[in-house]
Amino acid sequence: MLLFVDNLTNVDFSFLDPQRGLLGETWLANVRLFGELDEQGMVCDFGTVKKVLRHWLDTELDHRLAVPVRSPNIRIEEDGEFLQIHWQFGTTGEFISTRSPRDAIALVDAEILNQETVAAWCITQLKQQFPISVARLELDFTLEVMDGAYYHYSHGLKKHRGNCQRIAHGHRSRIDIWANGNKSPALEQRWADEWKDIYIGTREDLKDKPEQNGVRYYHFAYEAEQGPFDITLPQRCCYLIDTDSTVEFIAHHIAQKTRQENPSAFIRVKAYEGINKGAIAEA
């Protein structure tokens, strides 16, 4: 017998890619459980499925930085309650380094991270948490279908009381823009192109601008409720704003800058933070 739950939940996180560097992502989780019927006539109660899986994904993957521990590109150093991650990517020797509390990092037993390898890692962690009536657990991740422009971004919100304070978590987000009441795919694509695989950093958190082997970097750091965080990335992978990078400030920033570039137009921006949530700003 097969039990399934499609679109059980979604996870917003960032991960390290050998070519693209730091990549913000949003995936939908779908689950299937195979087994015999129990005395209730069920493979497993839907309430148990939702509780166990949602809690585990929210705790172990959502709003974390996922790193492939078996990749030759990575170096992981333990520092008490913290992890130092050093990641080399691309073809020119660029790197990303970050130091975070352990709970901000998902150490995935894989050489490369994608929907299939992360799902396989999740299954190995989850399969012991279900009753004996469940003989096999399957989990896969799918992407939100978007018919317009979108971008991948990572960020951290030092003032947030929850896990958004982690300095390297992210989202795959669509963007809708109207100019004088007309939907503008050109303006949407303009932002999707500029913010492809971007880290949105707050100027207040910028502590240094080191240079190594001809590559210019930004070093961000802040102290949050969960502890100290820092991250260093190539400048070309970053976009600086004067405020925190909440989706409300992001929508406001896009609206204001788009209006500056199009002074005769009334601009309305609907900026998403992952799936089906976000903020609207006008200028």
* Domain positions in the chain: 2-172+200-240
pLDDT in the model for residue 127: 77
β-pairing verdict for 211-212 and 206-208: unpaired
**Inter-residue contact 66 to 104 (CB < 8 Å):** no
- Tell me how far apart the alpha carbons of residues 195 and 172 are, in angstroms, rounded to a whole number: 11
pLDDT in the model for residue 31: 85
pLDDT in the model for residue 38: 61
Instruction: Provide the token pair at 225.
Output: 């409720």
pLDDT in the model for residue 3: 65
pLDDT in the model for residue 90: 93
Q: What is the mean pLDDT of each run of 10 residues along the chain (283 residues)?
A: 79 97 97 68 62 90 98 96 97 95 98 97 84 76 95 97 97 98 98 98 98 97 98 98 98 98 97 97 98
Q: How does 255-267 read in b/e, with b if 16+ C-beta sit within 10 Å?
A: bebbbeebeebeb
pLDDT in the model for residue 46: 60
**Inter-residue contact 234 to 97 (CB < 8 Å):** no
pLDDT in the model for residue 7: 87
pLDDT in the model for residue 181: 97
Instruction: Provide the token pair at 277.
Output: 């949530």
Instruction: Provide the token pair at 241.
Output: 């704003």
In CATH, the number for domain 2-172+200-240 is 3.30.479.10
pLDDT in the model for residue 128: 76
pLDDT in the model for residue 76: 98
pTM assigned to the model? 0.94
